[in-house]
Structure 1
Amino acid sequence: MNLLDRLARTWPWRRLQDRRSSLSRRLVWLSVLSVSATVLMVATGAYWMTRFSLYNQLDDELIDVAAYSAAQIQTDVEGMGGLNTSALRAANVTLMLLASDGRAQQVRGASVALEPGDEELAVARTQTGDSARTVTDTNGSRYRMVAVPQTMQGTRYALVIARPLGPTEATLHWLWLTMMTTGGLGLLLSVLLGWLSSRQAMQPLRNLSGAVAHVTETDELTPIEIHSEDELGELTRSFNTMLNSLSSSRERQKRLIADAGHELRTPLTSMRTNIELLVADEKTGMLPEGARGEILHDIAAQLGEFTSLVGDLVQLSREDKVTANPEPMDLRDVVESAIVRAKRRGPGLVFDVELNPLFLVGEPDTLERAVTNLLDNAVKFSPPGSTIHVHLQGDTLRIADQGPGIADEDLPHVFDRFYRSDQARNTPGTGLGLSIVAHTIKAHGGEVTAQRSAEGGAEFIVRLPGKTVEDQQAEDDTVTMPAIKD
């Protein structure tokens, strides 16, 4: 089993990976593991750096003592330069002279018995470099022993000097104990701070969770308060935006259903009455001659109106943007197709048409239906022999008629669903045509407005994002223009 497998099986790591654990607990465990790893690395690094520094300092001191002692021993090798145990005890060292043949000589009366090794013997024989290592005497005490080369009276020696490691190891022990105590206290503090910070950081998420639960239980789309401007505050703001969109969509659906129910009731009631008359006539023959055909003709007209109304409702129920079949197109072609259809419905009208190219990306079918609805509205209210103006210039399409126009109080409502002015109540239609226009133009990133025309009729202004011939030519010139050198 390798190290990664062992780490993956450890209890804290399993707690961090446990999906059943709460996010706040995982954050606390993550902070604990991070602080623990940091404390362990810092403490270990500081301990070994301090140990290395203390041992180097001790080796340098022993080398200095060896150089001082060698000057004295040079005068009297056999008597070890007059050095005695008292002098060595004052310096807290033990001294030995090791010859290249392996003979070892200590100060008379020395109580510490150190066994030199191959390292010290190599220094004596080669007379190069020095050695430093940790050894243990016969009593089990640990010493730091240094050997330096010396040539005395033609004989090669290694002056070996050692000092007890008790004080140094005591210092390192207290250092390690202090680090572990401080690290443990820091770890406990990190657990407390991690728990507090995780609770504070998770509070916006708890608010979001509570809001979702509240929406699920009560079906109330109540936004929650924003208490910060960080990522969690941005998440809360996005959630509130979603709630507002959902609330707005729900209100639109309720209004559409209510309006649709109101508008569908009339044709359904009329159709039911006519069908009941036909059923009664089958039994009694009460209808005069020709009335049955008129009723059937009336039912067919009502079915056509009903079908048109259902189609308009389906079109308005689409709340998505233009993503079905968008394609590059020239709006001029769409308007020309719509004009052809409008001319068939208003054979006695004059169409003043002036169309310039406008290139954009969109759905030709839905845009043609929107333009057709505007032209049908103009045809419906135009007196015989009047003129309908259709001008496409730049990014603006204008459709104006010479009819009675739109009253000022009706202008803010002409694009509302099922809205019909007093002048339009007796004319055929579902009251959804202009709503479909507004919905389609908005889905294409444009806007449509209504106003009185210069001739007193109604004028609809459609603006769509696109490029004219001049815009396309300017863009092409910019791309192909060569660089101008200074």
Structure 2
Amino acid sequence: MSAPPPLPPPQGFKPSSQTQRARDWWRDRLLRLTLHSRVTLLAAVTVGLAVAIVSISAYLTVRQQMYRNLDDSLVGRAEGAVNSGVLTVAENIQGIPPDAVGLSDQQIGLVTASGDSYASPEYKPPINTPELAVATNQGDPSVRTVGYAGGPHFRVAAVAAGGICPRGYDGECPNSVREPGALVVAQSLSSIDRTLHNLGVVLWAVGIIGVIGAALAGNAIAQSGLRPLARLTGAAEHIARTADLRPIPVTGTDEISRLAQAFNAMLAALAQSQDRQRRLVGDAGHELRTPLTSIRTNLDLLAQADQRGGLSAEDRRQLLDDVRAQMDELTTLIGDLTELARDTPQNRGFELIELSNVVEDAVIKVRRRAPGTEWDVQLTPFPVWGDERLLGRAATNLLDNAAKYSPSGGRVVVRLLDGVLTVTDSGPGIAEADLPHVFERFYRSTEARSRPGSGLGLAIVKHAAEQHGGMIYARNAPPMGAQFTLWLPHAATQSRQPAPTL
């Protein structure tokens, strides 16, 4: 069961500007501290609070226990004095020292229910309402602390003492004149106050030493624990200055080590991306050079022919056709390079499309370009979420590749069943050494180097499969030739957004 939402503040409630300024000031100071300083401060504050709580608890416990022991002692001695019968005559209290009744370090006195009090001048305890109430009611003892301005504090206990003879009776007195009273005993709290003071000083000293020790320990822990982080920071700064993507040495299995391993994984991915980028630029430059060189050669031939008197119409037509073919190849190559140069998915608007229609359009297009090839096509409907243009390009590349490697009069088998598109040609197949590399950019086997193409067609197919959450793989399928299998998820289970490119 979730907790109820917090109640909104009362209407019109606003924190005072002074409180807000104080909060902002502390927040600003904390944010300016380094992580090392924060760890040290946190350790000191935590230990300081713990020591303060323990010290206060210990002080209060000791104080309460000392007062309880003193109260028990005062009440016990007073009751013992009452039971001894020494104080049956009120006037006698003036001549009896406290040690005579076992109260050597205390002051004693008597108070009757009528309000008369008797005490030795040297040992006169404070007598007031609580003591009169005990004398009158003959109830439970009372204990309280009494302090004098500029003087010591006393702990005063009063116990019931019935049958006290009033003034004027030196010996036996009849019960009719006896009246209830209370024995009042007081003891100075100087020794307890001194003990508590010394205890407070010790606790303060222990607390200060504990906070200082905690700060030193926190500083040492922060320095030791953050040393790998400092090395990692230095390595990151070095990489930012020099662009040197070598991994950082990692030791241990703590959180900092895991962070360093994640940093190394990021460096490896960045280095791999840079390597792919360099290879892409280098391979693109190499591949672009070929059609550009052919176009320049044909244009030079046309220019030289015009200077020498011109070419025949047939020769001119062939040169222009070759220039157009090279331009088409250059346009296709630039489009492929643009598609593959993206490290992140293009923001395409995925839509619900019928994959069988896309493959059928690709078959019609490639069949016109390869009239000498026999096509065996069997397609079943299969809906997918995706980019129709990219999937059409992938299907066209698979069919073009099959037509290119099939001999004249050869047969290409195309099947689309349950989202699995298989294209099987009747060519020589793929060498085992080339199978792991056929989907790499610009990779061309030894047999393929004598044929037209840039080596990007199958890379485009793999890119399209990954963009749509599918997969592509190749194998040999004797007695036919090479077989390529493209799998895409059904629209019901497929995400409507492009899959991230790894």
- TM-score normalised by structure 2 residue count: 0.81
Q: Check whether the contact 2:305–2:311 (CA below 8 A) recurs between aligned residues.
A: no
1:222 to 2:246 alignment: yes
> Which residue is equivalent to 2:327?
303
- The one-character-per-residue Cα deviations of 1:61-104 (angstroms, maximum 9, x if unpaired) are 21112211222356333323984233367542211222344332
Q: Does 1:145 align with 2:147?
A: no
State the match for 2:36 in structure 1. 24
Q: How does 1:70-89 map to 2 (within 5 A)?
A: 70-71=82-83, 72=85, 75-80=88-93, 83-87=96-100
- Mark the CA change 1:231 to 1:464 in structure 2 (over 3 Å): closer, same or farther: farther
Match of 2:53 in 1: 41
User: Which residue does 2:460 correspond to in 1?
Assistant: 436
What is the match of residue 57 of structure 1? 69
Q: Provide the rounded CA distance (Å) in 2 between the counterparts of 1:6 and 1:143.
A: 48
SS in 2 for 1:111: coil
My pick for the range that moved more, 270-279 or 229-238, is 270-279
Deviates more, 1:308-317 or 1:423-432: 423-432
Which range moved further: 146-155 or 297-306? 146-155
Closer, same or farther: CA 67–85 of 1 in aligned 2, 3 Å: closer
TM-superposition CA deviations, 1:324-372 (whole Å, max 9, x none): 4445666445434433333333344333234456666544432332222
- Give the whole-Å Cα distance in 2 for the aligned partners of 1:196 and 1:281: 86
Letter in 2 for 1:79: N
Distance 1:88 1:361, change over 3 A: farther
**Secondary structure of the structure 1 residue equivalent to 2:376:** strand
Find the aligned partners of 1:90 and 1:63 in 2 and give their Cα distance: 11
More displaced stretch, 14-23 vs 363-372: 14-23
| Matching residue of 1:194 | 218
Tell whether 2:131 aligns with 1:120: yes
Alpha-carbon distance in 1 for matches of 2:459, 2:150: 104
The Cα of 1:287 is off from its aligned counterpart by 2.4
1:2-48 per-position Cα deviation (integer Å, ceiling 9, x unaligned): 9x9599589xx949944332210111011111111111121112111
1:344 matched residue in structure 2: 368
**Aligned pair 1:104/2:117, yes or no?**
yes
Q: CA deviation at 1:464?
A: 4.3
Give the corresponding residue for 2:312.
289
CA shift for structure 1 position 447: 3.4
* CA deviation after TM superposition for structure 1 residue 156, in Å: 4.1
Are the counterparts in 2 of residues 342 and 372 from structure 1 also a CA contact under 8 Å?
yes
The reply to whether residue 312 of structure 1 matches residue 336 of structure 2 is yes
Distance 1:100 1:47, change over 3 A: same
What is the RMSD of the two structures over their aligned residues, measured on CA atoms?
Answer: 3.3
The residue type equivalent to 2:285 in the other structure is: G
Q: Which runs of 5+ in 2 are unaligned?
A: 1-14, 165-177, 494-502
Does the 8 A contact of 1:322 with 1:363 survive in 2?
no
| Structure 2 counterpart of 1:266 | 290
Q: How does 1:361-440 map onto structure 2 within 5 Å?
A: 361-393=385-417, 396-440=420-464
Inter-CA distance 343–47: structure 2 relative to 1 (3 Å threshold):
same
Shift of 1:421: 3.2
Change (3 A) 1:148 1:347: farther
Provide, for residues 115-146 of structure 1, a one-character-per-residue CA deviation record: whole Å limited to 9, x for no partner. Answer: 33333334444544443222235881221112
Q: Is the 8 A contact 2:125 2:185 kept in 1?
A: no
Does the Cα contact within 8 Å between 1:358 and 1:468 map onto a contact in 2?
no
Size of the aligned set, in residue pairs, is 463
Distance 1:65 1:6, change over 3 A: farther
Give the counterpart of 2:81 among 50, 53, 69: 69
Distance change >3 Å, CA 467–CA 15, structure 1 → 2: closer
Q: Distance in 2 between matches of 1:131 and 1:244?
A: 83
Displacement of 1:263? 0.6
Within 1, Cα distance between the matches of 2:400 and 2:128?
Answer: 113
Aligned 8 A contact 1:88 1:95 in 2: no
Q: Which amino acid aligns with 1:287?
A: G
Measured in 2, the distance between the counterparts of 1:327 and 1:69 equals 104
